[in-house]
Structure 1
Amino acid sequence: MSANVNEAIATISRKQGARAPLDGEPLTIRARRDVSDSVVEIEFVNPDGFSLSAWKPGAHLELTLPNGLVRQYSLCSDPDEIGSYRVAVLKDPRSRGGSAFIHDEVREGDVLMVSGPRNNFEFVEAPDYHFVAAGIGITPMIPMIEHAERTGATWKLSYLGRSRASMAYSDSLASRYPNKVDIRPDDEFGFPNLPALLGEPRDNVKIYACGPEGVLKALEGIVSDVWPADTLRLERFAPNDAEALTKNRTSFTVKLTLSGLEFEVPEGRNIVEVAEEAGASVIYSCMEGTCGTCETRIVCGEADHRDSILTDDEKNANEMMMICVSRAKSARLELEL
């Protein structure tokens, strides 16, 4: 689609008060506030006063920071209120520069380039939910909880963290939903007994979990053994298996069906890098298989999935792949790019 057509669509959308997803557009920080001893909430608005794009629980924004870093943060505001977006950012002591910059440098009135919303943590309708949030993993859960409450679904939240002071939104959640929210800081309860928190396996429930990798791996182990298939849905901050990204990196051939380009991906390279060098226009971000920006349709061939987004069923369907980390099991792949 041409730039002129894109601009025409964007102009019509603005006049109608709706927006297509943002693609690196400037948003103004209207408010900034501390929501725990290590988490800051940032509220974005359109500087022209127009409404923002609609979104659903589980979506995230991609921020391009003035220092050149690109980071993804879950939306924690109300999807029905598209006059602004809110995200919450943990100041990670192991920060690679993103969260530290936001905490130390970003202020009200600043303008950041924003893309999205995008959603790799789709919230599906179910009669019963168990939300398990650890630390900053609470952020995508808040819109999910509000949706479950509005629709009359049964739900409960197990919220884990270091201390109450570190747990963003814990007071407001506990006061608003006193019989459904279980706040369990480690300094009061010790390390969580996850099997006890989940209870007995049952049908017709979805467990949504987000947080540090150790908690997510433990949940996967517990649920996969005894719970019904497709009960657990996760959002990760880091690759599920970082070592797997560098194993068995044999070469393979890729054909891009939309551009007609064809090239070999050698064992030391990834599809994104080689496709760009061949002249393809590729959209990507994290290069770790965690953000979903580079998701691409498979036309022919079998993918070697190494991302941390697709479910097992989605990987077995072999319809889409994340080309920043995933490779090929077949000698040749054809991709819709």
Structure 2
Amino acid sequence: MQQTVLDRADPLADDVLSLELRGVDGPLAPWEPGAHIDLALPNWLTRQFSLCGDPADPERYRVAVRHDPLSRGGSEYVHRFLRTGRPLEVSLPRNHFPLLPAPAYLFLAGGIGVTAVAPMLRAAVAAGARAELVYVGRSASAMPFADELCAAYGERVRTVVTAEEGRPDLAALAARTAPDTLVYCCGPASMLADAEAVFPAERLRTERFRPREREFAPAAPFEVACARSGRVVEVAADESLLDALAYAGLPLPSGCREGVCGSCELAVLEGEPEHRDDVGAPAGRMYACVSRARSPRLVVDL
């Protein structure tokens, strides 16, 4: 974890705060567009936020936090209780949504999803690529960075206020998008579903706030052998691997506990995991908060 202090907390839009975190022990770890960090809050919760500042600034990170009315305690704490000067621990940046090289980009952002997409637009324009952003929000006052992005990139940015215009016609947008264009989409599930319905899968990259609703076979118990510690842990059908390891005194870092952040990544040495995450676990890895085992036994690097 990296030690930071909250330097600034400024309102950006309705129910959205900008937080600037300054490194206490010197430069912070570098990051690239699409990356996020885990922020350990003083109320013992850890939450994930996309980095939306300047990757060239090694002294500080910037994130934006929308107050969720259904908050599980994270965004509510940030908005009601967090004050400047507070020391805060943050993780090293992780990036499951990297900006890949392409001659052209179409960025689709819904609401607070703009935080992941805005640094991508800046990087794409700086690289000389053709780039366009369609930014969707329920009202103009609820769209952070809208004025800043429109001022900086002019006609490259189109804002859509759904309360006045309805949702954008992504099918028409897909029909006029050149075949050499990579499409990046971050926003609510409905926007991602609309994008997945009209853009070719090989050209579409998405990042989710919440896991997709999917059905899996009934959970079964399994055994996990921890290679480095020599421990063997039984995982019951009604508990997660993450919880079973924690109860056994082998806790892993964790954030979302929903399979979307990747903070609980675990190396699998033997056995076949059943992947239930929305990150897309690389070969030989699994996310312990939601994923389980297809084989009766797993051997993990722990």
TM-score w.r.t. the length of structure 2 is 0.93
CA distance in 1, matches of 2:28, 2:154: 32
User: Which AA in structure 2 matches 1:162?
Assistant: R
User: Which AA in structure 2 matches 1:252?
Assistant: F
- For residues 124-273 of structure 1, the aligned pairs below 5 Å read 124-200=100-176, 203-223=179-199, 227=200, 229-241=201-213, 244=215, 247-273=217-243
2:254 equivalent to 1:277: no
More displaced 10-residue stretch of structure 1: 130-139 or 248-257? 248-257
* Alpha-carbon shift at residue 305 of structure 1 (Å): 1.0
For the residue of structure 1 that corresponds to 2:202, the secondary structure is: coil
Out of 15, 23, 28, which is 1:52 matched to? 28
More displaced 10-residue stretch of structure 1: 251-260 or 133-142? 251-260
* Change over 3 Å in CA distance of 1:196–1:271 after alignment to 2: same
For the residue of structure 2 that corresponds to 1:76, the secondary structure is: coil
* Change over 3 Å in CA distance of 1:65–1:172 after alignment to 2: same
**2:279 aligned residue:** 309
* Alpha-carbon shift at residue 39 of structure 1 (Å): 1.1
* Alpha-carbon shift at residue 281 of structure 1 (Å): 4.4
**2:10 aligned residue:** 33
More displaced 10-residue stretch of structure 1: 65-74 or 188-197? 188-197
The CA RMSD measured in Å over matched residues stands at 1.9
User: Which AA in structure 2 matches 1:335?
Assistant: V
CA-to-partner distance for each residue in 1:169-190, whole Å, 9 max, x for gaps?
1011112111211111112211
**2:286 aligned residue:** 321
For the residue of structure 1 that corresponds to 2:154, the secondary structure is: coil
CA distance in 2, matches of 1:104, 1:280: 33
* Alpha-carbon shift at residue 202 of structure 1 (Å): 5.0
* Alpha-carbon shift at residue 67 of structure 1 (Å): 1.8
- For residues 91-102 of structure 1, the aligned pairs below 5 Å read 91-102=67-78
More displaced 10-residue stretch of structure 1: 201-210 or 89-98? 201-210
**1:300 aligned residue:** 270
CA distance in 1, matches of 2:129, 2:240: 43
The number of equivalent residue pairs is 302
Instruction: State whether residues 48 and 255 of structure 2, in contact with CA within 8 Å, keep that contact through their aligned partners in structure 1.
Output: no
Instruction: State whether residues 261 and 280 of structure 1, in contact with CA within 8 Å, keep that contact through their aligned partners in structure 2.
Output: no
**2:296 aligned residue:** 331
More displaced 10-residue stretch of structure 1: 268-277 or 86-95? 268-277
- For residues 76-95 of structure 1, the aligned pairs below 5 Å read 76-95=52-71
User: Which AA in structure 2 matches 1:333?
Assistant: L
Percent identity (aligned): 39
User: Which AA in structure 1 matches 2:14?
Assistant: D
For the residue of structure 1 that corresponds to 2:151, the secondary structure is: helix
* Change over 3 Å in CA distance of 1:209–1:117 after alignment to 2: same
**2:79 aligned residue:** 103
| Structure 2 residue runs without a partner (length 5+) | none
CA distance in 1, matches of 2:44, 2:234: 30
TM-score w.r.t. the length of structure 1 is 0.84
CA distance in 1, matches of 2:270, 2:176: 42
* Change over 3 Å in CA distance of 1:252–1:168 after alignment to 2: same
* Alpha-carbon shift at residue 145 of structure 1 (Å): 1.0
* Alpha-carbon shift at residue 143 of structure 1 (Å): 1.2
CA-to-partner distance for each residue in 1:142-167, whole Å, 9 max, x for gaps?
11111111111111111000011110
Instruction: State whether residues 174 and 198 of structure 2, in contact with CA within 8 Å, keep that contact through their aligned partners in structure 1.
Output: no
* Alpha-carbon shift at residue 261 of structure 1 (Å): 2.4
